[in-house]
Each structure stands twice: as C-alpha cells, then as structure tokens.
C-alpha cells in the first residue's frame, strides 16, 4: 500500500542482503525504517513489536533465518536461530509456520547452497503473503459488495479490531484487504476502528494506514462497538487472527471475543480474515489449547503520545502500587464466527470446511504429529 503516495511493503531485501522494515512503534507520529542484519536483530524487532501482526512476524522470522545462515549456515547455528526466533511471541502461529518452512527448505541441503536457498524461501514467503492477502480481499469484496447493494447508497460500515492491516502483513492486510479493494472499486465504505488498548494498534496503526489510503474511518473507544451494533451502525465486523484451530476457533487481539458476542446478540455478521499459514491443525479447542501471550505491565500502566509541541512522551495512568494484568489475546469460539475469509474462499468456521479447503495442510499436520522425531529439525 502507499506511504505518502509511494507503494511500500512492510519488509524488503536491501541491495546488500540486509533486511529493511518499518519501525511500527513510532507510528503514527513518525514514519521511520530500520535495518535487520542478524537473527538477533529480527528477534528483537519482533519482541519489541517494531514489527508485529501474525503474517509479518512470520515473514520477519523467515528473513531472520536467512540472516543467520549468511553468518553461519551450520545445523547448530540454524537451530540456534530457530530457538531464538520461536521464543519471541507465543500466540501467532505464523511464526512457527514460517520457521518450519525455512528449516524444510534448508535441511538435506549442502551447506554452500543454504544461504541462497534461505533468501529464496524467505522472499517467497513474503511474496506469497501478498498474493494470499490480495485473494482474501477479492473474496471479502464480494461480501461488502452484497451489503452495499442491499443498502442501496449509504456507506458500508465495517468494524475492525486491532491492526490486521497491511502493516500487520507484507502488503494488503487481511481484514483490510476487502476494505481497500471495495474502496478502490468506488463502493462507499466507512470503518469503525477500535482503539485497541493497551497498545492502541487500532488508533495508531489502522487509523494511520486507512488515512494514508483515503478510506473514511472513525476511531472509537474499545467498548463502543456493542452500542453501535444496537443502533444498526455496524453492517459487518471483520477482524484478523493470530491462530485458527482445526475446528475454527479464532485467537486474536484481546477484546475480539467481546465484539463477537455483541455481534451475535445483534445479528451482525462477524467475519475473520486469515491466510492459511494462520491455521494450526495441531490444536482443536482454542480456549484450552492456544497459548495466550501476557505482556509487560508498563503497556497497561502508561500511555504514550505526542505533546502539543511535538515531543513523544509516556505518562502513567494507573496508581502506583496497583497490580495490573496484560493478556494480549483472547479466543473467539467457532460458534460465534459467521465465516472465515481465506485465500480459497469464504468458509464456515468448522473442522470439515477447513480440512476440505486446505487438505494438504490438514494431512501434513497429522503426518507430523505421528512422526517420532529425533530431537533436531535436521533429521
């Protein structure tokens, strides 16, 4: 998508084989890029959320393995890079998917071919993400088009949570891809953007990227969605996800579940947009099985923003001494999900629909689970 009118991806290869990306912790106040030169750099960028969003975390980790291979392509060094990167964030399954893809591309390969193979696979993972998200957009566009036709004039009001936009992916975004495609086709559209406490990815990132693309939007406090739905101000909810289980349960940014409950109570369709690497066929019951990241208390106790004279400052908003809890994700059970917007079409959130649409992924997971394993990814 565009930054100040220039087509931009969130991650790219520099001429000298370093990796460039956007420092998302500075947005919306400053647009700045950073360089990654090692697996350690990639791990730090993911951990500190300079890059975030499940698909972009996966792509960054893939490049992290390529950067590690450039320094040392031995089995031991690649195992170390895998261990470092996998430990950065626990909920987004795209991270493990991308790392496993990289290892599959490198194992059984002579050492002198590994660097080129690693860069090739990392680049392909990034390019595939763009194609997948464009396809998600085409399928989601049909949904928005139907609502627009039914409304016969006024804008389609979409509510979204957190940032599942192009900043969270390599390009297009997942939840935002149908929105951008509808806007580009001239369908009147307006987005309710949940601010998404505590890190405010909605207010800071989704609002910024929608603004850059000229999509009308309104930032709302997280608890506003239910009220808007009761007053018929939301036509459809579209969110992203960090992990979808074999039966269609959906992990996403904390607060997503409450939006799904409100949507169910008000008869508002609740869709989740996802690329297939976000499906984890090895888990079934999302509430019981998906690990939920808990982050540091400072995200809760402080707010960061721009002062009138342009300085970026953090202020404390919680009394000294109060205990805080910072759960980063929650799980929306499949029964609350109207449909999953994937690159292969819109699916029911069910075991049958997912396995039928992605048989190769479902089968690969069964095979993997029955493997005995030899303790290394280079067996």
Catalytically active residues are: 242
When the beta carbons of 105 and 194 are compared against ligand MRU, the nearer one is 194
When the beta carbons of 199 and 377 are compared against ligand MRU, the nearer one is 199
Structure tokens at 142: 């049909």
Do strands 189-194 and 156-160 pair parallel, antiparallel, or not at all (unpaired)? parallel
Residues that bind ligand MRU (CB under 6 A): 52-55, 92, 162, 164, 168-169, 174, 201, 240-242, 252-253, 328
Q: Which residue is nearest to ligand MRU (CB)?
A: 240
When the beta carbons of 48 and 71 are compared against ligand MRU, the nearer one is 48
Minimum distance between the CB of residue 177 and ligand MRU, rounded to whole angstroms? 9
Largest interatomic CA distance in the chain: 63
When the beta carbons of 206 and 212 are compared against ligand MRU, the nearer one is 206
When the beta carbons of 27 and 115 are compared against ligand MRU, the nearer one is 27
Minimum distance between the CB of residue 358 and ligand MRU, rounded to whole angstroms? 17
Minimum distance between the CB of residue 111 and ligand MRU, rounded to whole angstroms? 34
When the beta carbons of 114 and 243 are compared against ligand MRU, the nearer one is 243
């Amino acid at each position: 998508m565009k930054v100040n009118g220039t087509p931009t991806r969130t991650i790219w290869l520099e001429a000298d084989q370093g990796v460039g990306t956007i420092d998302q912790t500075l947005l919306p106040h400053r647009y700045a890029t950073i360089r990654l030169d090692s697996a350690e750099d990639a791990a730090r960028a993911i951990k500190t959320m300079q890059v975030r969003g499940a698909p972009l975390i996966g792509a960054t980790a893939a490049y992290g393995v390529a950067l590690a291979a450039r320094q040392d392509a031995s089995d031991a060094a690649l195992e170390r890079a895998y261990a470092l990167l996998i430990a950065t964030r626990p909920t987004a399954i795209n991270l493990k998917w991308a790392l496993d893809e990289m290892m599959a591309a490198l194992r059984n390969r002579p050492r002198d071919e590994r660097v080129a193979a690693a860069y090739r696979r990392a680049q392909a993972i990034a390019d595939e993400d763009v194609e997948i998200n464009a396809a998600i957009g085409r399928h989601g566009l049909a949904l928005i088009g139907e609502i627009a036709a039914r409304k016969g004039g006024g804008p389609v009001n979409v509510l979204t949570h957190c940032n599942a936009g192009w900043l969270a992916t390599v390009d297009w975004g997942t939840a935002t891809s149908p929105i951008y495609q509808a806007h580009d086709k001239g369908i009147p559209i307006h987005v309710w953007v949940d601010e998404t406490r505590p890190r405010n990815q909605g207010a800071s990132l989704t609002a910024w990227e929608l603004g850059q693309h000229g999509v009308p939007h309104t930032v709302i406090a997280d608890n506003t969605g239910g009220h808007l739905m009761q007053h018929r101000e939301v036509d459809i909810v579209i969110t992203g996800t960090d992990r979808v289980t074999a039966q269609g349960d959906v992990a996403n940014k904390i607060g997503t579940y409450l939006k799904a409950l409100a949507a169910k109570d008000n008869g508002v369709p609740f869709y989740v947009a996802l690329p297939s690497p976000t499906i984890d066929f090895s888990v079934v019951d999302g509430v019981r099985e998906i690990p939920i990241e808990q982050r540091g208390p400072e995200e809760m106790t402080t707010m960061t923003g721009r002062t009138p004279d342009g300085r970026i400052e953090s202020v404390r908003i919680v009394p000294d001494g109060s205990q805080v809890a910072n759960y980063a994700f929650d799980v929306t059970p499949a029964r609350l999900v109207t449909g999953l917007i994937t690159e292969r079409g819109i699916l029911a959130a069910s075991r049958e629909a997912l396995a039928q649409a992605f048989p190769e992924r479902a089968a690969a997971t069964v095979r993997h689970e029955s493997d005995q394993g030899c303790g290394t990814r280079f067996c």
